[in-house]
């Protein structure tokens, strides 16, 4: 048999989706995972680096998915532009986020990162291998 009744899925080398970039989600993870210890970043910064400055909301949603991510994502190092631990409520324990930050040497008071502009870490562009 070999008949191939029809071109079921036949040759379609690549219509138009060579997989440019997986999902901006993976990009976000890549950036978040690159955050060094003792540093924090903001959703907007990640979103901008990911190429979606107007979509900072999705970054938060991405963090939510981070719990389901194959690898642990330091979501506790991600705070909003004000340095507030807005997502701390989404952690296993509402104090875990602060605990982790303090454990890394970051001073947190009242759910607010102290010296935010000093511990703030600007994420680099996800350099892609040529």
Partner DNA sequence: AGTCTGACCTGAT
Partner DNA sequence: GATCAGGCCAGAC
Which positions touch DNA (CB under 7 A)? Answer: 23-25, 42-44, 47, 52-61, 63-67, 75, 78, 80-82, 86-87, 89-91
Tokens of 46: 């990640």
CA-CA-CA-CA dihedral for 6, 11, 15, 18, to nearest 10: 140
Structural contact between residues 113 and 107, judged by C-beta atoms closer than 8 angstroms: yes
Residue 116 CA to its chain's centroid (Å): 19
Shortest Cβ 114–DNA spacing (Å): 17
**Cβ distance to DNA smaller for residue 5 or 78:** 78
**Cβ distance to DNA smaller for residue 53 or 118:** 53
**Cβ distance to DNA smaller for residue 94 or 105:** 94
């Amino acid at each position: 048999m070999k008949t191939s009744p029809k071109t079921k899925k036949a040759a379609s080398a690549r219509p138009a989706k060579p997989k440019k970039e997986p999902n901006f989600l993976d990009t976000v993870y890549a950036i978040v995972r690159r955050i060094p210890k003792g540093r924090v970043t903001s959703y907007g910064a990640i979103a901008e680096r990911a190429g979606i400055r107007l979509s900072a909301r999705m970054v938060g949603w991405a963090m939510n998915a981070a719990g389901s991510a194959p690898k642990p994502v330091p979501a506790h190092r991600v705070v909003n532009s004000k340095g507030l631990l807005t997502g701390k409520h989404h952690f296993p324990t509402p104090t875990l986020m602060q605990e982790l930050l303090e454990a890394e040497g970051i001073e947190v008071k009242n759910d607010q990162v102290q010296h935010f502009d000093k511990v703030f870490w600007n994420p680099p562009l996800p350099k892609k291998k040529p």
